[in-house]
Structure 1
Amino acid sequence: MKMHLTQGAQNLFTAYGDGFVAINQEQHHQPLLVMADLLTPWPASSFEALTEDDFAALLAHDPEVVVLGTGPRLRFPHPRLTAALTARQIGVEVMDTPAACRTFNILVSEDRRVLAAILL
């Protein structure tokens, strides 16, 4: 008898494109917060509309690192927006959304407590 360790169900990005991301083969067309065991809408409507509260709300999920997908192009939020995360020594990695999706999948496979904050 062979035994294999299998991980429970977890969220992984399986596709992305213009105006959508797919998680476990299901397409989503709105900003999202994604962890291995969490998938929820993110009330942030756009990069330009991001507030300090949008990032402070991420603390409730106790991430080790936040991967911020800024949409189709890389844009950096003002440091005051992410101050609540950095004050708690939570890493914030900023990249375009396709790169954020790929990075999230790698970090999840390493059993890291990563939170993807995805804008489209």
Structure 2
Amino acid sequence: MRMNEVSFDDSRPVDGYGPGFFRVGGEVVQGAVLLSPGGVRAWGGFEDAAAVVGKASEVDFLLIGTGAEIAHAPPAFRQAVEAAGIGLEVMASPAACRTYNVLLAEGRRVGAALLPV
């Protein structure tokens, strides 16, 4: 088996996370975060659907990290995101971070909206 280093091109992977923060592309971001090909920014949580919908031109698919445990996205949030044409997958934030990095390495147009653990 041959192992190759993963290349993320210009995108910024999730390097780590902990209580109340994420480390993205070497920078620490406190609180919830929204990741997309256009960059990294703070996210206001499920009440901030407009920020996610605004990424519709950048992403085809959005991973939602719900913190330490998996939880349902509120119906209004899910409907707004899906109405914008963005696919949605909800999972715990640690799984969302790992999945985001894998899809990013594959060159997919993926975004992630992550609540801290």
Q: Give me the TM-score of the superposition, normalised by structure 1.
A: 0.79
Secondary structure (helix, strand or coil) at the match of 1:61 reads coil
- Which is greater in Rg? 1
Structure 1 counterpart of 2:85? 89
Deviations 1:52-76 (A, max 9, x none): xx22331221220111111111111
Pick the aligned partner of 2:64 from 56, 61, 68.
Answer: 68
Alignment of 1:1-120 (within 5 A): 8-44=9-45, 50-51=46-47, 54-62=48-56, 63-120=59-116
d(CA) in 1 for partners of 2:50, 2:90:
16
Judge conservation of contact 1:97–1:119 (CA < 8 Å) in 2. Answer: yes
Residue type of the alignment partner of 1:56: A
Q: How many residues align?
A: 108
d(CA) in 1 for partners of 2:84, 2:29:
30
Task: Give the % identical residues.
Answer: 33
d(CA) in 2 for partners of 1:7, 1:82:
28
Secondary structure (helix, strand or coil) at the match of 1:94 reads strand
d(CA) in 2 for partners of 1:7, 1:39:
15
Judge conservation of contact 2:21–2:32 (CA < 8 Å) in 1. Answer: no
Moved runs in structure 1, 4+ residues, more than 6 A?
Answer: none
Residue type of the alignment partner of 1:58: V
Structure 2 counterpart of 1:3? none
Note the C-alpha offset of 1:97: 0.8
Secondary structure (helix, strand or coil) at the match of 2:77 reads coil
